[in-house]
């Protein structure tokens, strides 16, 4: 049975040239607003023939590096600088972003676990469905800006995936490198089926993701990397004039071959990480200790690296629960893909 059209409508004309700021309007009916709408900001900058790029942030609401960089870009991008069309959605999951949370307070929805979505589902499922069936088909290339959010801190990298189509994989990898973060990653996902990434890639589009810091904040350094990366992405794919600006140090390539890169806690307690982001790790090395907070004088549980590599992500809060990812270890490689 085919799905009904999305209930979301746009207040902008995606086919018009010039700069437009508007909303993706999602009807809701709540105690606070009987005939209301979730109003997701969108900016469209169009200028004649050319490719279409979709730039998204706030897929997870507490990942501020991308949100902030795209809010700034929406304020500054001029139509005459663009060839083709740039669509900017700084906060895909607006209710989550407004609440400072990864997931939506309206339905508990984690947008990046809700694809392809459902026009008859929850608010979050409706947003996912709109992007899958309306936004992505308009686009040639998609840049989805993530970072660690409140519970993770992650090295800055552009990322792509291993794909069945080698040409699509090559273009995404070149885009991930051209983002120009200090690191570039061939990413292994724990569960890819319901990701935005997969919804875009399955339509044959070029998809680049990022991780750019974390802790539920941004810093001058993380924002500078993000803003430069967005600009580099648009230049690389022909939407802006100029030269891609790479980092001063040679970019480090990272690979995550399998799930053993993820170290997850089997204890609840106080977390001590013995390494900083970017540090080299050897297999068998103690990378973390978890202390039982109910008593003093008890030896902590040690967590050891199950592979060589560098620490690319870490849990940000000092308190850890069963199942939390404590650390992610990726391999440094000479080339990707």
Judged by beta carbon, residue 148 or residue 180, the one nearer Ca ion is 148
DSSP 8-state class, residue 82: B
- Tokens standing for residue 143: 């840049």
Size of interface with Ca ion, in residues (CB under 5 A): 2
Which residue, 280, 181, 179, is CA-closest to 221? 181
Judged by beta carbon, residue 62 or residue 140, the one nearer Ca ion is 62
What is the smallest separation between the CB atom of 183 and Ca ion, expressed in angstroms? Answer: 16
Identified binder of Ca ion from the candidate list 146, 205, 231, 267, rule CB under 5 A: 146
What is the smallest separation between the CB atom of 206 and Ca ion, expressed in angstroms? Answer: 19
Q: Is residue 140 within 8 Å of residue 207, measured between CB atoms?
A: no
What is the smallest separation between the CB atom of 48 and Ca ion, expressed in angstroms? Answer: 34
Q: Is residue 212 within 8 Å of residue 226, measured between CB atoms?
A: yes
Rg from Cα positions in the chain: 20
What is the smallest separation between the CB atom of 277 and Ca ion, expressed in angstroms? Answer: 16
Q: Which residues contact 255 (CB under 8 A, 6 or more apart)?
A: 185, 186, 330, 331, 333, 336
Which residue, 60, 81, 108, 79, is CA-closest to 238? 81
| C-alpha neighbours within 13 Å on the C-beta side of residue 321 | 1
Judged by beta carbon, residue 101 or residue 146, the one nearer Ca ion is 146
What is the smallest separation between the CB atom of 245 and Ca ion, expressed in angstroms? Answer: 25
Query: Candidates 8-16, 139-147, 261-269, 289-297 — which segment interacts with Ca ion by CB under 5 A?
Result: 139-147
Judged by beta carbon, residue 60 or residue 314, the one nearer Ca ion is 60
Query: Candidates 29-37, 88-96, 140-148, 324-332 — which segment interacts with Ca ion by CB under 5 A?
Result: 140-148
What is the smallest separation between the CB atom of 313 and Ca ion, expressed in angstroms? Answer: 11
Judged by beta carbon, residue 65 or residue 129, the one nearer Ca ion is 65
Judged by beta carbon, residue 6 or residue 233, the one nearer Ca ion is 233
Q: Is residue 261 within 8 Å of residue 329, measured between CB atoms?
A: yes
| C-alpha neighbours within 13 Å on the C-beta side of residue 139 | 29
Judged by beta carbon, residue 60 or residue 231, the one nearer Ca ion is 60
User: What is the pattern of x (binds Ca ion, CB under 5 A) and - over residues 41-80?
Assistant: -------------------x--------------------
What is the smallest separation between the CB atom of 136 and Ca ion, expressed in angstroms? Answer: 18
The closest residue (CB) to Ca ion is 146
The verdict on 231 binding Ca ion (CB under 5 A) reads: no
- Name all contacts of 71-79 with Cβ < 8 Å and 24+ positions apart: 72/227, 73/227, 73/230, 74/21, 74/41, 74/43, 77/19, 77/43, 77/45, 78/19, 78/45, 79/17, 79/18, 79/19, 79/45, 79/46, 79/47
Q: Which residue has the tokens 């430069």?
A: 228
What is the smallest separation between the CB atom of 149 and Ca ion, expressed in angstroms? Answer: 6
**What are the residues binding Ca ion (CB under 5 A)?**
60, 146
């Amino acid at each position: 049975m085919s799905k009904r059209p999305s209930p979301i409508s746009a207040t902008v004309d995606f086919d018009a040239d010039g700069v437009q700021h508007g909303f993706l309007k999602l009807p809701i009916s709540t105690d606070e607003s009987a005939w209301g709408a979730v109003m997701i900001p969108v900016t469209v900058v169009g200028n004649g023939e050319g490719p279409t790029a979709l730039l998204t942030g706030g897929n997870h609401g507490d990942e501020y590096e991308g949100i902030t960089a795209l809010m700034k870009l929406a304020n500054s991008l001029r139509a005459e600088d663009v060839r083709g069309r740039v669509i900017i959605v700084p906060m895909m999951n607006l209710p989550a972003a407004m609440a400072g949370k990864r997931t939506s307070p309206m339905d508990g929805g984690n947008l990046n676990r809700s694809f392809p979505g459902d026009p008859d589902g929850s608010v979050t499922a409706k947003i996912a469905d709109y992007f899958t069936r309306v936004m992505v088909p308009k686009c040639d290339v998609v840049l989805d800006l993530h970072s660690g959010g409140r519970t993770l801190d992650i090295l800055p990298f552009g990322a792509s995936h291993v794909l069945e189509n080698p040409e699509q994989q090559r273009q995404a990898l070149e885009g991930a490198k051209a983002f120009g973060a200090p690191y570039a990653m061939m990413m292994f996902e724990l569960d890819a089926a319901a990701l935005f990434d997969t919804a875009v890639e399955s339509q044959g589009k070029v998809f680049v993701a990022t991780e750019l810091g974390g802790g539920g904040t941004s810093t001058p350094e993380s924002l500078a990397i993000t803003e430069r990366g967005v600009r580099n992405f648009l230049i690389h794919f022909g939407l802006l004039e100029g030269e891609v600006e790479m980092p001063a140090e040679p970019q480090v390539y990272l690979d995550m071959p399998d799930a053993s890169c993820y170290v997850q806690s089997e204890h609840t307690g106080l977390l001590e990480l013995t390494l900083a982001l970017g540090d080299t790790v050897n297999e068998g090395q103690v990378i973390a200790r978890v202390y039982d907070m109910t008593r003093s004088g008890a030896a902590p549980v040690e967590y050891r690296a199950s592979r060589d590599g560098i620490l690319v992500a870490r849990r940000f809060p000092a308190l850890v629960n069963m199942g939390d990812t404590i650390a992610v270890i990726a391999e440094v490689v000479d080339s990707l893909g």
